[in-house]
Amino acid sequence: MATLHQPHHRVAITAAGVVSPLGSGLAATLATLLAGRDCVTPVTRFPVDETRCTTAGQVPDDWLEKALPNDDRKSRRLHRVSRMMILALREALTQAPGYQPDLMVVGTTSGGMSFGEQYYRALQSADASRRKLPTWIANYAPQKPAIDALAAFDLDAPCQVIANACASGTNALGHGFECIRSGRYARVLAAGFDALSELVFVGFDSLQASTPEKCRPFDSARTGLVLGEGAAVLALENFETAQARGADILAEMTGYGISTDNHHLTQPHPSGIGPRKAMERALARADRAPHDVDYINAHGTATPFNDAAEGRAIAELFGPVPVSSTKGMMGHSLGAAGAIEAVITLLALREQILPPNINFRAPDAELALNIVANEPRRASPRVALSNSFGFGGTNASIVLEKFAAE
């Protein structure tokens, strides 16, 4: 039986909002990228006197006080990550008045994990106040920050949560992209969020994945990552619908690719086959060849194995394309990383810059990469790739393209 050909709908990005250690909002984020500023600071949220790593990319609390205009009991009970999501969504909706999502897809790894920590500690403490237990447990659910953000703006849309390790944010964008591309939805909010938590911080430190010094992606003497936090929201929309309403199209999302290499619980396959397959599939979806790509925002955690596998895949597939990881500036925000770095890639296309890979001292002799070292570059990128790779060999890549009105 013959099957009907299903047309592929173009996917526009019509708005974006972000909160990360780089700044609250697109303008602040761009200014930090242009300055190449290191926003990793000593951890103040919990004690780190017994850990090797003592730094992280942190979002200051005073930025989050502006999340809600009122200071009632309900708003005071919100988790920090809910406030990040509210700020990011507010910025996005300001750019797209009247935007009504059909669906929201969010990527995260831990949601309100720090409230979960407080809850279980309180159960073990005889003198702990039990009055806060309901608040802590209510905010522990990973979908809570997304629900809080939708409620803050009276939006009513189904919410899907993707928890796929450090690829979660990129997977959320990719799922939203496929939903619109297929014609099933016209508008999808895609987001990623995560907040620093002591449990996760100590876990990475115990694995010796975190560094006691600077985070140096792709450097020959790299010694590990630092953690971060933040939230980003991107408004995806059917291209024709966006044009019909006169929307400002920030960029097009044209490709999405995933793979799983199943090599090791925490280490990627050393050949780079997992990252390579994800990037190849994203390019095929976008109908692009490797030589079409002008910039790659790498996953680049600065761990020896991850950078080696990703760097090998990039060098073999793309050759001398400019590459940078912005994690040296802001830390690795886990489930939020893919969404935040998609916004950074969007800014690279819009502002015609290549974000810097800071703390870079010497190239790895085994990785033939064109690193955007320490300072941003002025360039003319039109097609960019953003990577996110996680524990368990879960890999995701997206292709964004600069939009030029015809």
- Which residues form the catalytic set? 166, 299, 332
Q: What are phi and psi of 159, to 5 degrees?
A: -125, 125
The residue with tokens 């979660």 is: 168
Asked if residue 233 lies in contact with residue 190, where contact means CB atoms within 8 angstroms, the answer is yes
What is the distance, to the nearest Å, from the Cα of residue 387 to the centroid of all Cα atoms in its chain?
9
Residues constituting the chain: 406
Tokens of 170: 């990129």
Q: Looking at the DSSP assignment, which residues form a beta bridge with residue 390?
A: 394
Q: Is 12 helix (H, G, I), strand (E, B) or coil?
A: strand
**In contact, 401 and 252? CB cutoff 8 Å:** yes
Residues 6+ apart with CB under 8 A from 138: 77, 144
Report the alpha-carbon distance of residue 6 to residue 4 in Å, rounded.
6
Rounded Cα gap, residues 280 and 294, in angstroms: 15
d(CA 270, CA 40): 29
How far is residue 24 from each of residues 83, 170, 366, measured CA to CA in Å?
A: 11, 20, 37
Sequence-distant (≥ 6) Cβ neighbours of residue 347 within 8 angstroms: 26, 29, 30, 33, 353, 355
Give DSSP secondary structure letters for 41-84.
Answer: EE--SS--TTSS--EEE---HHHHTTSSS---HHHHT--HHHHH
- Of 311, 286, 306, the C-alpha closest to 384 is 286
Q: What are the beta bridge partners of residue 394?
A: 260, 390
Q: On the CB side of 230, how many CA atoms lie within 13 Å of its CA? A: 37
CA-closest candidate to residue 15, choices 346, 405, 354, 355: 346
